[in-house]
Structure 1
Amino acid sequence: MLLRLLFVLPAFFFCAFESRAQAYEPGLLVTSQGDTLRGELENGFWVEPPAFIRFRPAAGSPSQLFQPRQLRAVSFTGGRYFRYEALPIDYAAQTQLDKLARVLASDIKIDTLLAEVLVEGTGSLYRVARSSVVHYVVSSPGRPMLSLSEHKYLRENDNGVWAIADGNNYKALLGNHFSKCPASKMARTAPFTAEALVAIVQAYNRECAPGQQTGRDFLSSAKPRRRVALLGGVLAGVRYNRIVSGTANYYNNKAECTDCQALPYLGLYADLFQPSRTSALYGELSFSTFGSLTPLLVYTDGNLVPNQRNVESRHVLGTARIGYRFFFPLPQERKWLLGVGYELNSALGQTVVTSTGPTGPRTREKLVYADPTYFPNLSLGWRSNRLTLNLDGQMYYDEGNVSRTEYLSNFIGSNVALRLGVAYQLGRNPDAAKASK
């Protein structure tokens, strides 16, 4: 539980009230039928190729959702430019240590996607990011498309130690691709960066391409202005607790329902949206009430054997949650969301309702309140602009199984809490704040 708290607290320390994730900017798109639509495009600040594009003809008008296959091109005014292309991508290329192969291999496949255009001309340069690997594709007349990728692998050295080796032979590939052009000489000393590759392709366009005309350079506008966006607001709803305690009666282990009712809750939440704005790190702090039946063992009249006293009370229950949400686009600014997370509960105050049994010095006290299992809570929601409707559930340990020796009981419990709530986003949109400047 303490480990969960260490993860929860930093999330709320950085919480700020920002508005919805949608950030529209002027731009245009070309459909697969060749129609050009001008208006506003939702900027997802993509790192990987966009999975969808949201377009509206004017501010305040209903939006349309386009899949990549329905498009030819997407362009932000003075910003990034994407084209729907069939490009060779080396899916064997890796840079993460735990995924490196012990042999240098390639697995080039043709993938059709919205690729970011860095240079558009007789010679063109595209960029595609997949996982942790950045791929560049060079196209020029009369030559097959050239696929260049970051590529690491493991190689055994003379001492029998496996070491990381660089398998990116981009210099040789570029030299061969532009063999009859001075651009090939630049490749001999060029680093594997977007700036260097743009310079090589532009040198080809100026000196060797038919027409010898420099292509359009989109490099300066290709970098996303921001990677993440923090936004949040207030939430409220109804929480139904079904908490049956096996420790409520210490001697005969009689299970009693200590809290089986629907109660209101209030709180704050925050979403830290990741690149592409289709997933977010989620944090929440909420408050509700919670009923407990506390068994106390007391000594009376000099007896050596303690008697039991049951105290029924109500508590203010503080709940901190942290998790991850996935968003699935719907038309007209709406989204489905699925979430998983963990929570930490704490009883913050107590009001005694009833007390039965003798009084005397306490020898044992067990505060019965929600203690979540290791299985995460699950949530399903629907978001429309600033408003979110959400249904979630959390399982808790069976208090009768105090030893918790059974492996399955650490993950599955019959005690549950279900919540139905609404959230409202507050503040300004961090994505749109810079877009308007």
Structure 2
Amino acid sequence: MKKILLCLVAMAAGQCIVLAQVNYLPGVVITRQNDSLRGLINVKNWVTNPGEIDFKSDKESASHLYKATEINGFVIPQENKVYLSKEFIADVTYYETSTLKEQAMSVESLDTTAFVEQLVGGSYPLYTYTDVHHRDHYLFEAPGRPVTELVYIKTIVATDDGSGLYERKIYQQQLDTLFQDDPQLAKQNRFLGYYEKPLVKAFLAYNKFKDPTHAEEIIQKKKVRNPVWFGVMAGVGFNSYKSQGPFYMANGNSYKSSVNPMLGIFIDIPFPGSSRKFSLYNELLYKTISTSSVLVGPVYNDYAGDIVSFGFGYAQLNIMAQYTYPKGIVRPFIHVGMGNAIVVKTNKNDYYDVDAKKHETAVDGIRKHEESAILGIGVKASRLQVEARFSTGSGWLSYSSSNITSKALQIVAGFRL
């Protein structure tokens, strides 16, 4: 067991080191004095815009944390990304059309300083910001004006026919006012959609109209909206066992419960367009089980009072569907799926004859493949997650009519790398 645990720990540690090395890319920090500091920036698959970055001048130097309030921004040339520190107010109210009746009527506003991603440069730049609900916001800046959100409001209104979704496309009025000195452009964009591509096109055209020499589009790689997540997990299983069938080690015998550890790695693969609500959650883990029983039976049976002990180490692959509630910092989630495990180590398979005071193999040819049904519920906060999980096991006896099955309450903690 120790060797397998060490192997899994080494795999997780190695993966963490590799990811840490890949995340450091050449970059430039722009100070408040508009000086450029060249070095390495820890570039992560940010789901929301960062409020701080990790910077070091070279591979050997210590890292330094820069908050958005401390620098003007940073550039990642390799990714063609420009992030600027901006103070702004945005409507970050969460709306989901599939659960209208559950939506709050109040508006949630965010007043913050964060790194916004620049999409268009020039005198009238366009920025984008993704909030904690994975909702994209578009913001612009103009001479003499602070950073302003292009406002797109979805709200619920009550009518005689019931509640419904109402959209207020205030951003179209904002663009009409902003582009008023170019009537043709204003007319073209009067019914503009609230998406990156048309907004970039509109702001690029207006910057060229105002000053053709200073308009530029920040050409960037396609955003990974829902990246695949890797992580490590560890937990403990509270196992109980049930015997059934005519085989004398199963029939009428009570097996002791046990508490056993588990350790492994996971990969969380989101379904397309689900904003991480639905994903395929897979685990590769090592777990153990252990139990024993004092056999019962009529006194004339040779085995009455003898002791059997079992202990196995399993390598298990769990494949589960995951639903995560998409709102809030602490997010509940549910797992439903199945597991398949293989015995990789036999710790105990012992039969102790009390009268003869002799040990021998309890069961020849144990069943090495175990199938499990899994149901779990838990919560996530940032990179951490905790889950309570119910799991069943198909047992290790290879007889068709007899078996010793298991049920487990598992407490599992995970950390996303």
Q: TM-score, normalised by structure 2?
A: 0.59
C-alpha change, 1:33 and 1:269, in structure 2 (3 Å) is same
Distance 2:231 2:108 in 1: 42
Following superposition, the deviation at residue 80 of structure 1 comes to 0.9
Distance 1:281 1:192 in 2: 32
Distance 1:30 1:260 in 2: 54
The SS at the match of 1:75 is strand
Q: 2:149 aligns with which of 143, 147, 150?
A: 147
The SS at the match of 1:221 is coil
Mapping of residues 260-339 of structure 1, within 5 Å = 269-272=265-268, 283-288=283-288, 290-299=289-298, 301=300, 310-318=307-315
Distance 2:134 2:39 in 1: 33
Distance 1:163 1:241 in 2: 46
Where relative contact order (Cα < 8 A, 6+ residues apart) is larger, the structure is 1
Tell me, yes or no, if the aligned pair for 2:92 and 2:108 is still in contact at 8 Å. yes
* Alignment match, 2:139: 137
Tell me, yes or no, if the aligned pair for 2:189 and 2:202 is still in contact at 8 Å. yes
Q: Which amino acid aligns with 1:111?
A: T
Matched, 1:21 2:19: yes
The SS at the match of 1:152 is strand
Tell me, yes or no, if the aligned pair for 2:51 and 2:113 is still in contact at 8 Å. no
Matched, 1:116 2:113: no
Q: Which amino acid aligns with 2:310?
A: S
Tell me, yes or no, if the aligned pair for 1:133 and 1:149 is still in contact at 8 Å. no
Following superposition, the deviation at residue 346 of structure 1 comes to 6.9
* Alignment match, 1:80: 81
Matched, 1:125 2:126: yes
* Alignment match, 2:223: 224
Give per-residue Cα distances to partners, 1:22-63, cap 9 Å, x unaligned. 322222011345442112222213231114312232345443
The SS at the match of 1:69 is coil
C-alpha change, 1:77 and 1:269, in structure 2 (3 Å) is same
The SS at the match of 1:117 is strand
Q: Which amino acid aligns with 1:138?
A: F
Tell me, yes or no, if the aligned pair for 1:85 and 1:113 is still in contact at 8 Å. yes
Distance 1:354 1:83 in 2: 72
Query: Percent identity, aligned pairs only?
Result: 16
Tell me, yes or no, if the aligned pair for 1:32 and 1:69 is still in contact at 8 Å. no
Following superposition, the deviation at residue 134 of structure 1 comes to 1.2
Tell me, yes or no, if the aligned pair for 1:100 and 1:152 is still in contact at 8 Å. no
The SS at the match of 1:205 is helix
Tell me, yes or no, if the aligned pair for 1:26 and 1:39 is still in contact at 8 Å. yes
C-alpha change, 1:38 and 1:110, in structure 2 (3 Å) is same
Tell me, yes or no, if the aligned pair for 1:115 and 1:127 is still in contact at 8 Å. yes
Matched, 1:67 2:67: yes
C-alpha change, 1:37 and 1:316, in structure 2 (3 Å) is same
Distance 2:198 2:411 in 1: 56
Following superposition, the deviation at residue 66 of structure 1 comes to 2.4
C-alpha change, 1:109 and 1:287, in structure 2 (3 Å) is closer
C-alpha change, 1:164 and 1:317, in structure 2 (3 Å) is same
Following superposition, the deviation at residue 318 of structure 1 comes to 4.8
Q: Which amino acid aligns with 2:91?
A: D
Tell me, yes or no, if the aligned pair for 1:314 and 1:352 is still in contact at 8 Å. no
* Alignment match, 2:172: 171
* Alignment match, 2:199: 197
* Alignment match, 2:31: 31
C-alpha change, 1:57 and 1:206, in structure 2 (3 Å) is same
* Alignment match, 1:352: 350
Following superposition, the deviation at residue 85 of structure 1 comes to 0.4
Number of matched pairs: 332
Q: TM-score, normalised by structure 1?
A: 0.57
Distance 1:129 1:48 in 2: 5
Tell me, yes or no, if the aligned pair for 1:68 and 1:84 is still in contact at 8 Å. yes
Following superposition, the deviation at residue 180 of structure 1 comes to 2.7
Following superposition, the deviation at residue 123 of structure 1 comes to 0.5
Tell me, yes or no, if the aligned pair for 1:134 and 1:149 is still in contact at 8 Å. no
Q: Which amino acid aligns with 2:196?
A: A
C-alpha change, 1:91 and 1:417, in structure 2 (3 Å) is closer
C-alpha change, 1:123 and 1:286, in structure 2 (3 Å) is same
Of 144-153 and 49-58, more deviation after overlay is shown by 144-153
